[in-house]
A and B are shown apart, each in its own frame.
Chain A
């Protein structure tokens, strides 16, 4: 505050390089903020890679027929888009990047419980990412199985699936270790006075997520290892001619991969829950209900996996049970949405960029959630399963939800980390372009899916042309919005006006320390005397 003469990037944790120079000060640092930034820039890089791949897919689908890519290239592109976006961006995106940056400060800790393990997590992630990229250019070429690696195709294909599964295996360990680290940190490292019911809800969401990461990710590890074994030694576990079962693979895969969508969305919900009260200057409505609903989603979400398999040939009893459970997950999600809207009631609302992204989140996530009901009901799922309806639904939840939350988190917390502020007007323009482009892009997909266009098609019948073209145009608008957003925020972070310690008037602990925070987060041992959304007492 009183050092405005020097650049923010020469203050606080930025100057604590631990005696290392250049990149070494980052890739060998155990400071949770530096590791958080490592994760932030790696996930952002992969988001950009994934987005470019997505744009390429949309370009191919602008008209029927193979226009820009061969079918084989197209299959590799969508596989890569899925693997990069899911394993390298969305899963680690919010928890590992913003969780690392913010969570220890929010609970008044000086770092996570196991800082070196934290660094190891990033290294595993980086090694996994490099292996995944290596798989594109070695052996049989880029994997073409889709991110789901369904057998028997993934066992038969000559492309380099083996290396890709090893990469996923290693990245999985990174997630398990981060989850473990966060669990111990939240249990053991809270500042005096930080009772369970005073923990900010972003941290609560990370806590629920961490349990899923620790408990479900090992199943993914086993599953991809089994594919590896199947390919290398021909174990026959999924081969019906040798007593195996391809449907068992799907169960194993979704036992992890369905809870994984909650690993993806829960931290995003946490971001939104932290943002809304601050910009309404009002305590969050139903604090305990939101905290408990995070745990309920994590719990119930772990037992709904087979709703991905309604048409697979599994028993009708299984269809019944999993459809019912799926509908039950909808309830805690609905509770969260109602609580967010109710928080705005009688507040004093300032439409700053983080709130705009949060409001888009609520709208887009609601569409994603409600279309999830169509997929949850057995009869309707049969028709829309594996069509573009699912692709649209998934992007509404994952991009409209988690992706927008990630960008909201950038606009909300990065000024804290960098000590500088971006241009508000440009951020609003970027937000408007993104939201509009998003709706055009993915709403068109849902309509064309409802009309019966299956997913993972490089070519389609001429009758699907209109909605595909509209969708592709939407992808260009969305891309423009993303460019505006990223250019604006990075210009601001490196050259913007000083942000001050508490630009938004937040009441949780991260706003009580300086911007950027010092090496161990606080110059004094914080003492917590009120809840995270108590703005009357929290804002001096």
Chain B
């Protein structure tokens, strides 16, 4: 029904210049604006003009006594109930039809995940690349899946007339198509605290070829990211952590080559978890269960295409394992302090250039003497900075509000990487 509603409403098939089969979101909304504002303008003018005319025409100096004591007129009253009813129902209908256009994502839309946090945005693309500006190809509809890490925010792009809240614990979405190359403002529209006005970024609409180039131009480890996203897609990470913590099942960290005690046919055995073992565990999880864990995993036999299984196992065997050149696999996966700080939203509140934002600047932070609220002073060393990330409100620098949320989701290595990077920013 809704399809015919939209088609009835938008007479032409599409309004996008680049992609003639598409109606852009702004073209779905703007006619509704003109319709409502136009009618409202006429009504306002009529009411005001009538009122002023009556006041002048029937002023007491001209009409010392009222020339009528009429206090009702049924016909008139019925007219001014029925006519406004029809008008507002028409407004409702157009408003609803336009809204449906905003909710129906065109087929073939590219999916991007936006995660809001206090007080920055992170955009993740299908290949695992992250950015703090939203890069999109011109002419291709984009569906943005909206998430929040902490409180309510709202994703608002005035140029495309779209807005949707990001709600913790819930997935929302919006879609749009950028018809022309350019840079469009993104605002946070739902109040979220002291950095609310600073959550500004942009949609960067670039030609498709340029977009592909940008998307591919990421730092190595594409396979790693792919394996990881497959684990997420098939729900593995719901029960198995990547960071060593114990969930329903054993952690994936350091799984490859690990000696594990399993229980098979009621007997305990120690085996090495290798490619074969992992593959068997996927197909018949109940056959050999790691000691200390409940035998609750469902079988994935026939549910995951073969090549994807191998990619996932590749990834599992690699993570947490020392590799040949002495570097840990983690840093191969891009454990880069600068990138982490950006993705975790640190730069929403801490500048890199010495300017004051919500929190103190990162520039020259490491190793400097800091005065805390309450008068104590200390040196911003590794111990202090670790505490500042884990328990931010424990020691707040004087003159700044105690508003930083704790970051329990960061692994110890990640915190270290960030602090290492901060050390590099000394001067």
**Chain A residues engaging chain B, CB cutoff 8 angstroms:** 71-72, 75, 144-146, 150, 152-153, 156-158, 239-241, 245-247, 280-289, 310-313, 316, 319-320, 323-324, 327-328, 330-331, 334-335, 337-338, 341-342, 344-351, 359, 362-363, 366-367, 370-371, 373-374, 376-383, 385-387, 451-452, 454-461, 533, 535-536
Contacts and interface: CB of A to CB of B under 8 A. Distances in A.
Contact of A312 (B69, B101, B167): B167
A331 B84 contact: yes
Contacts of B36: 373-374, 377, 380
Contacts of B191: 145-146, 150, 153, 386, 455-456
B7 interface: no
A285 B54 CA distance: 14
B95 A345 contact: no
B301 interface: no
B219 to A, nearest CB: 32
Given A313-B164, A344-B51, A379-B102, A324 B170 contact: no
Given A153-B151, A366-B48, A311 B96 contact: no
Contacts of B67: 346
A373 B89 CA distance: 11
B252 interface: no
Nearest to A242: B169
Contact of B169 (A241, A346, A366, A386): A241
21 contacts: A71-B195, A75-B193, A146-B191, A246-B152, A282-B68, A286-B72, A311-B163, A345-B70, A346-B66, A350-B60, A359-B55, A363-B48, A373-B40, A374-B36, A376-B91, A377-B36, A379-B95, A380-B29, A383-B161, A454-B188, A533-B71
A319 B158 contact: no
Contacts of A349: 54-55, 58-60, 63
Nearest to A240: B169
Nearest to B92: A327
A411 B188 CA distance: 43
Contact of B162 (A347, A382, A460): A382
Contacts of A287: 71-72
B196 A457 contact: yes
B156 A323 contact: no
B77 A289 contact: yes
Interface stretch (B227-235, B269-277, B401-409): B401-409
A230 to B, nearest CB: 13
A152 B69 contact: no
A398 B112 CA distance: 41
A323 B197 contact: no
Contacts of A377: 32, 36, 91-92, 94-96, 98-99
A345 B103 contact: no
Contacts of A310: 99
Contacts of A378: 95-96, 98-99
Contact of B64 (A348, A351, A374, A380): A348
Nearest to B26: A383
Nearest to A337: B47
Contacts of B197: 71, 454, 456-460
B162 A341 contact: no
A334 B84 contact: yes
Nearest to B170: A313
B244 to A, nearest CB: 21
Given A335-B81, A366-B47, A382 B94 contact: no
Given A281-B66, A344-B55, A240 B170 contact: yes
B37 to A, nearest CB: 7
Contacts of B185: 452, 461
Contacts of B172: 313
B33 interface: yes
Which 5 A-B residue pairings sit nearest by Cβ, starting from the closest? A240-B169, A377-B95, A452-B158, A379-B98, A378-B99
Contacts of A157: 193, 403
Contacts of B158: 383, 451-452
B402 A158 contact: yes
B362 interface: no
Contacts of B37: 374
Contacts of A536: 69
B189 interface: yes
Contacts of B32: 377, 379-380
Contacts of B358: 71
B162 A327 contact: no
Interface in B19-73: 28-29, 32-33, 36-37, 40, 43-44, 47-48, 50-51, 54-55, 58-60, 63-73
Contact of B151 (A156, A327, A383): A156
A383 B163 CA distance: 6
B194 interface: yes
A374 B72 CA distance: 31
A378 B93 CA distance: 9
B96 A320 contact: yes
Which of A286, A313, A366, A461 has most chain B Cβ within 10 Å? A313
Contacts of B63: 346-349
Given A331-B88, A452-B187, A311 B169 contact: no
A247 B167 contact: yes
Which of B37, B95, B194 has most chain A Cβ within 10 Å? B95
Contacts of A241: 168-169
A386 B95 contact: no
Contact of A158 (B77, B164, B403): B403
A338 B43 CA distance: 11
A367 B41 CA distance: 9
Contacts of B170: 240, 247, 313
Interface in B323-368: 358
A311 B165 contact: yes
Contacts of B196: 75, 456-457
B76 A342 contact: yes
A139 B99 CA distance: 44
A411 B362 CA distance: 59
Interface string B77-89: 1001100110011
Given A349-B59, A363-B47, A383-B161, 5 more contacts: A247-B167, A311-B164, A346-B68, A382-B29, A461-B200
Contacts of A281: 65-66
A462 to B, nearest CB: 12
B122 interface: no
Contacts of B150: 152, 156
Nearest to B156: A454
A373 to B, nearest CB: 5
Contacts of A239: 169
A386 B164 contact: no
B359 to A, nearest CB: 12
A214 to B, nearest CB: 28
A144 B358 CA distance: 14
A377 B152 CA distance: 23
B109 to A, nearest CB: 18
A152 B148 CA distance: 11
Interface in B187-211: 187-198, 200
Nearest to A456: B191
Contacts of B58: 280, 344-349
B154 interface: yes
B117 to A, nearest CB: 12
Nearest to B83: A334
Interface string B390-419: 000100000001110100000000000000
A348 B190 contact: no
A388 to B, nearest CB: 11
Which of B48, B68, B163, B198 has most chain A Cβ within 10 Å? B163
B394 to A, nearest CB: 13
Which of A284, A382, A459 has most chain B Cβ within 10 Å? A382
A370 B55 contact: no
Given A158-B393, A350-B60, A366 B95 contact: no
Contact of A284 (B44, B71, B76, B405): B71
B97 interface: yes
Contacts of A347: 54, 58, 63, 66, 68
